[in-house]
Amino acid sequence: MNTILKTIIAAGIIASFSLNAMAAETASMPSMQEHMERMKTMTPEERAKEREEMRQKMQEMTPEQRAEKRREMRESFEQMSPEERRAMHKTMREDRKRMSPEERARNHEKMREHWDKMPPEERAAMRGKMQEYGQDMPAEERAERRREMRERFDKMSPQERRQLKRDMQCDLPPADIPGEKPNVTPAK
């Protein structure tokens, strides 16, 4: 009986230490709103450095911790007003425009790898969300995005254009891709 009591007391002490450590860790993490306010005052280079540090911290976390963090970020994003969300997207887009072509290519490669690792169901759901977002966009913003894409497309070489079309149709079998000839040998 005495050993059980000592064990319970020791377990309680250990639990209180771990809870105190978790509380201290949580207290040191700023809320999403505070973080966004701090990011607004930074230069683009500082923001890029901060994002890279955050990405490294996320990579060091366990999958469960990462999922929890993403859930928190999504909740805070949903709590933002539409104007705040639009402003956040605008700053992110401006930061992407300021990237060097090498940084942009590296970012694109990372996103491509992430997309390729996704299961088809998740990819379809993500594509649906992106299409919804495009339809919910104000007409002026949609026209601006279309104009930007047209300019980018006009500057591409014919090989880059073909590659872009292939990439956009990547989930279709080759026979379904417009302009691509299926690799079929005729029957003899």
DSSP string spanning 77-109? HHHS-HHHHHHHHHHHHHHHHHS-HHHHHHHHH
Residue 132 is assigned to a structural domain of this protein = no
Quote the number of domains for the chain.
1
Q: Is the pTM of this model over 0.75?
A: no
Structural domain range at position 64 = 32-117
Residues 6+ apart with CB under 8 A from 156: 164
Angstrom distance (rounded) from CA 120 to CA 181: 25
Report in angstroms the alpha-carbon separations of 118 from 88, 100, 113, 165.
26, 27, 9, 21
> Would you say residue 4 lies in a domain?
no
C-alpha angle 153/148/136, rounded to 5°?
120
In a domain, 57, yes or no: yes
Tell me if 95 is assigned to some domain: yes
Q: Tell me if 85 is assigned to some domain.
A: yes
- Please name the amino acid found at residue 121: E
The per-residue pLDDT for range 70-80, each reduced to its tens digit, is 888 888 888 88
Whether 75 is covered by a domain: the verdict is yes
Q: What is the pLDDT of residues 2-57, one digit of tens each?
A: 677 667 776 667 766 665 555 555 545 566 667 777 777 888 788 888 888 888 88
